[in-house]
Amino acid sequence: MLVGDNGPLNSFSSKIIVGYALGIYDEGMRNDLNIVRNIRNVFAHSKRLIQFDHPLIVKELAKATRSYLSKVGPQGAAEFSSRYVVLCSWLANKLLRIHRGLYKSKRHRHRRRAMSSLALAALLTPSPGRKDK
């Protein structure tokens, strides 16, 4: 019911908002997740075939706050596609570490905010076929 067609967490955007509101990640990570969402939307909703060196993509990638993106790849479209892959990989790795930490905290009965694996997966998984705005 939460992630279905009419559910409150049916879009990637709403999942990002709820994850931040619950304190799962910080503002920098929320901004980086929104960058990934915006780039995905540019590709998904473009009337023409575009590449990673398109001005809208370059503009979004420039917003990323992570310093690891400054050391990525060759010039041109390959540079920007590499930056996007690195950004997505870093976010996925960070989210997995957060998930593992929540699991360990529940297992060892630490007093931390925790949520079930199913709820966290629902927050972080974009719904297929839905527009994220």
DSSP string, 71-129: G---STHHHHHHHHHHHHHHHHHHHHHHHHHHHHHHHTT-SS----HHHHHHHHSPPTT
Entry pTM: 0.69
Calpha distance 49→34 (Å, rounded) = 22
Summarize the confidence of residues 102-121 as an average pLDDT: 56
Q: Of all helices (H) and strands (E), which one includes residue 35?
A: helix 27-45
Which residue range is the domain that position 74 belongs to?
Answer: 12-124
Summarize the confidence of residues 52-72 as an average pLDDT: 77
Average pLDDT, the chain: 77
114 domain residue, yes or no: yes
Number of domains in the chain: 1
7 domain residue, yes or no: no
